[in-house]
Amino acid sequence: MGKVLVMDHPLIQHKIGIIRRKETSSKDFRELVSEVAMFMAYEATRNLKLTDVEIETPIAKTTVRELEGKKMAVVPILRAGLGMVEGMLTMVPAAKVGHIGLYRDPETLKPVEYYCKLPADCGEREVFVTDPMLATGGSAAAAITMLKEKGVKKIHFMCIIAAPEGVKALTEAHPDVDIYIGALDDHLNDHGYIVPGLGDAGDRIFGTK
């Protein structure tokens, strides 16, 4: 059974408070999304597997613990998930990056797939899917289904803001997946937007509205 963890670290809460403000510029929004992802990566990678390695310091031989060979991949859901990649890579620079393109049909709110490019060895890696928003949960659930079809076995989902409806849908669709959430909001409005939320994450990151 996967876990659902809402981050309560003061630095994360403070930065999310700024991200939510409607007057926050795209530049600041992008930087803060990346910083929040970096803090979240610290917690989300807590259980990565380590292996013993013999090394020599300038003083003596010793055993240190390093991450196992095939480690992790970060897979953003395009577009908005891209905003969390740099923060993740700051913490784990050796991670490979895959991309899944999905957009939410504004009428049906159902995800529509348009792109999928993953590391060739993704089946051997622990995959961290990123998307700032978990609203109905349709996009996250579809992305994770795509990863499982490609043979990925261990999957984590990281979002900055989640609606309770999305958490429920995602845990029901993929009970084995760990979910890391920056802030758990109140509800979805009639257009499928998270309340209070932050608006359209993709538009705010890329300045398209």
The residue type at 96: K
End-to-end CA distance of the chain: 39
Instruction: Note whether 204 binds ligand PRP by CB under 6 A.
Output: no
Our separate counts of H helices and E strands in the chain read 6, 13
136 given a catalytic annotation: no
Among 72, 73, 134, 158, binds ligand PRP (CB under 6 A): 134
* C-alpha to C-alpha distance for 82 and 33, rounded to whole angstroms: 10
Decide: 72 and 127 in contact? Cβ < 8 Å: yes
Our CB check for ligand URA shows the closer of 10 and 106 to be 106
State the burial class of residue 55 (Cβ atoms within 10 Å of its Cβ: 0-12, 13-18, 19+): exposed
185 given a catalytic annotation: no
Name residue, tokens 């990346």. Answer: 34
* 3-state secondary structure at position 91: helix
8-state DSSP, 106: T
Q: Give the nearest distance from C-beta 62 to ligand PRP in angstroms.
A: 45
104 given a catalytic annotation: yes
From the candidates 90, 108, 145, 208, which is the catalytic residue? 108
Our CB check for ligand PRP shows the closer of 39 and 103 to be 103
Among 28, 103, 113, 123, binds ligand PRP (CB under 6 A): 103
Instruction: Note whether 135 binds ligand PRP by CB under 6 A.
Output: yes
200 given a catalytic annotation: yes
Token pair belonging to 64: 């240190």
Among 33, 75, 133, 198, binds ligand PRP (CB under 6 A): 133
The site for ligand URA (CB under 6 A) is made up of 80, 133, 135, 192-194, 197, 200-202
Please provide the DSSP assignment of 122-171 as one string: GGGSEEEEE-SEESSSHHHHHHHHHHHHTT--EEEEEEEEE-HHHHHHHH
Token pair belonging to 120: 């060739």
34 binds, among ligand URA, ligand PRP, none (CB under 5 to 8 A by kind): none
Q: Which of residues 58-87 bind ligand PRP (CB under 6 A)?
A: 77-80
Residues annotated catalytic, as ranges:
104, 108, 200, 203
The residues of the shown chain that bind ligand PRP, judged by CB under 6 A, are: 77-80, 103-104, 109, 111, 131-140, 166, 192, 200-202
